[in-house]
Amino acid sequence: MPNGARLVWRPGLVIGHNDAAPYNAVWNDDGLVRLMDWDMSGPLVRESDVAWMAFSWVPLHARDVAEAEAEGFSDFGDRRLRLELFLRQFALATMVATSPQRGCSRCCG
C-alpha cells in the first residue's frame, strides 16, 4: 500500500500487528511475553500477518540479508523444518481458537 494508505474495515479483516518480528518481541526466562511497537497495526487479512511472521521468524530473508541483520539465525539448512513447525503451530492455535470443543485435549481439556 502507498504510504499513508489505510484499509477500510470490512468483514473478514482483523486488527493485525503488521510487524510481528523478533525485533518487536519481549522475552523472559519462560519465553515470549508480548509484542511491542504497535504503531503499524490496523485492519488486514490474518494471512498477511502470518506470512510476515514466517518471513521474519524462520527467517525467509535472503541469506545475505539474514546474515547482515545479525538476527541470530545462521543454520540455513533447517529453514524448511522451522517453517513447517511454525505452520503446524499456527494451524493448532487457529483450530483451538476457532473450535474450542474440537481443541487439543492435552491443552484445552
Give the tens place of pLDDT for each residue, 8-33: 788 889 899 999 988 899 999 998 89
- How many C-alpha atoms does 68 have within 13 Å on its Cβ side? 5
Q: Is residue 2, in this structure, part of any structural domain at all?
A: no
- Residue range(s) defining the domain that contains residue 66: 14-108
What's the CA gap between 32 and 7, in Å, rounded?
29
Cis preceding linkage at 59, omega within 30: yes
Is the distance from CB of 14 to CB of 46 less than 8 angstroms?
yes
Write b or e for each residue in 21-52: b if 16 or more Cβ atoms lie within 10 A of its Cβ, otherwise e.
beeeeeeeeeeeeeeeeeeeebebeeeebbeb
Read off φ and ψ for residue 77, nearest 5 degrees: -70, -20
Q: Is residue 4, in this structure, part of any structural domain at all?
A: no
What confidence category does residue 95 fall into, taking pLDDT thresholds of 50, 70 and 90?
low
Give the pLDDT confidence of 42-59 residue by residue, as tens digits.
999 888 888 999 998 888
Number of domains in the chain: 1
pTM more than 0.85? no
Q: Is residue 8, in this structure, part of any structural domain at all?
A: no
